[in-house]
Amino acid sequence: MRLSRIKQLALLASGFRDFVKHPVTYPQAVHEISQRLANRENHFIDFAKRLIYDIPDSPLCRLLLWAGCDYSDLQASVRSHGIEKTLEQLRGEGVYLTLEEFKSLTPVCRQGLTLPTRVTDFENPFLMGRRIEGASSGSRGKSTRAVYDWDFITEESAHELLLYTLHGVQDAPLALWYPVLPGVAGIHNLFMSLKLGVVPEKWFSHLPTRLTDVSLETRLTLEFLYWGGRAWGLPVPRPEHVDLSGARKVVEWMEGARKRNGISVVRTYGSSGVRIAQAALERGQTSKAA
């Protein structure tokens, strides 16, 4: 592991305590989301300037300028027509990225324009050392590097809290069924839950979880979360290896949680959710036969 990465992980670790020390509350979530919606156009214009137009080598900046849309043009269009209409017009003029272009598998090609890109070209440069890195699962092809920071997860947690409250499951026992690093989904969902003040009872991982099966970085991260969480009153569970063939184990946890609390929640991929439903049906049929 590079020294620069070790320093970055140490910086992230120092921010973890403050992150979990102040959970998002429902009134806070409603207020912050309402404020963001009320100032949506201003935020969009500001971010476009700082993250695109102020970085002239950015593929997005070059693509917009190729389409004849400088910053003043974008600003005027958003003020006059709104964000959606502006984006629809730009899409029609060739300002978009295909999935392959976004993953830098192919260059951005438009009439008279060819832009070879790197994955890092589409990252937020202002995250710097505060970023949390991982990768998508790659279930539909090459995995994509994913980058987050504490502020982003805090903002996302506010939306999750409204969703949980809407469905009446904000106090339900929770389990995660996501892989450990390098896939980012598991640690991402764990952080969101902790920001809501909810500690998952279980963390089932599609990938092996023994210390001998994971990288040094993953080992350090998991040990820090386990022991650091306990030091701050958060009994973060150790991940347990449960691949797709073991959905029955997840169902068994759900049944036990429902007996205790009348309800349970599992956060997972859609495909894994289907496996849970299949395992539950099979388990129910077996119980009836017995």
Question: Using 50, 70 and 90 to split pLDDT, how confident is the model at 283?
Answer: confident
Q: Say whether pLDDT at 129 is over 90.
A: no
Angle at 188 between CA 185 and CA 189, to 5 degrees: 85
CA dist 223 and 188 (Å) reads 16
What's residue 10's pLDDT? 67
pLDDT for 139-157, tens place per residue? 444 544 455 578 889 999 9
* Count of Cβ atoms closer than 10 Å to residue 269 Cβ: 16
Please give the distance of CA 213 from its chain centroid, rounded to a whole number. Answer: 24
- pTM across the whole model: 0.79
What's residue 157's pLDDT? 95
Q: Report the percentage of the chain scoring pLDDT > 70.
A: 86
pLDDT for 48-76, tens place per residue? 999 999 999 999 999 999 999 999 999 99
CA dist 39 and 210 (Å) reads 47
Average model confidence (pLDDT) for the chain? Answer: 87
pLDDT for 26-51, tens place per residue? 999 999 999 999 999 999 999 999 99
What's residue 4's pLDDT? 56
The residue among 246, 265, 244, 243 whose CA lies nearest residue 254 is 265
SS3 call for 120:
helix
